[in-house]
Amino acid sequence: MYPIHLIPSLKAAGFKITNEPDLVDRLSEAKDWQAALVTLLRHGERIGIEVTRNPLAGASVSAIAHQFHLSPTVESELNAVLH
């Protein structure tokens, strides 16, 4: 199960999530929520899930990655949202 505080932490760090309820449902149902998150970050716009970020707002991606023990792949994908 994915950590329930992840989404609020991402939002506090300046991430904007379109269709957040669907994102939460998909992460909740996934056996490997980190792999599911990577897939949704890469391809979620096809199903109405989009993650964007204001790079000047909130905590750094590395701080969130450390807090939630995110894999390097997830951290890299979150950083890619900035570009």
**Is residue 27 in a domain?**
yes
User: What pLDDT does 64 receive?
Assistant: 93
Give the range of the structural domain holding residue 16, as residue numbers without chain letter.
6-80
Count of domains forming the chain: 1
* HEC-encoded secondary structure of 18-33: ECHHHHHHHHHHCCCH
- What is the rounded distance in angstroms from the CA atom of residue 10 to the CA atom of residue 73? 16
Query: pLDDT tens-digit profile of 38-74?
Result: 999 999 999 999 999 886 777 789 999 999 999 999 9
> 24 vs 83, which has greater pLDDT?
24
Q: Kindly state the percentage of the chain with pLDDT values over 70.
A: 95
**Is residue 16 in a domain?**
yes
Strands (E), 1-83: 15-18, 50-53
- What is the rounded distance in angstroms from the CA atom of residue 76 to the CA atom of residue 78? 5
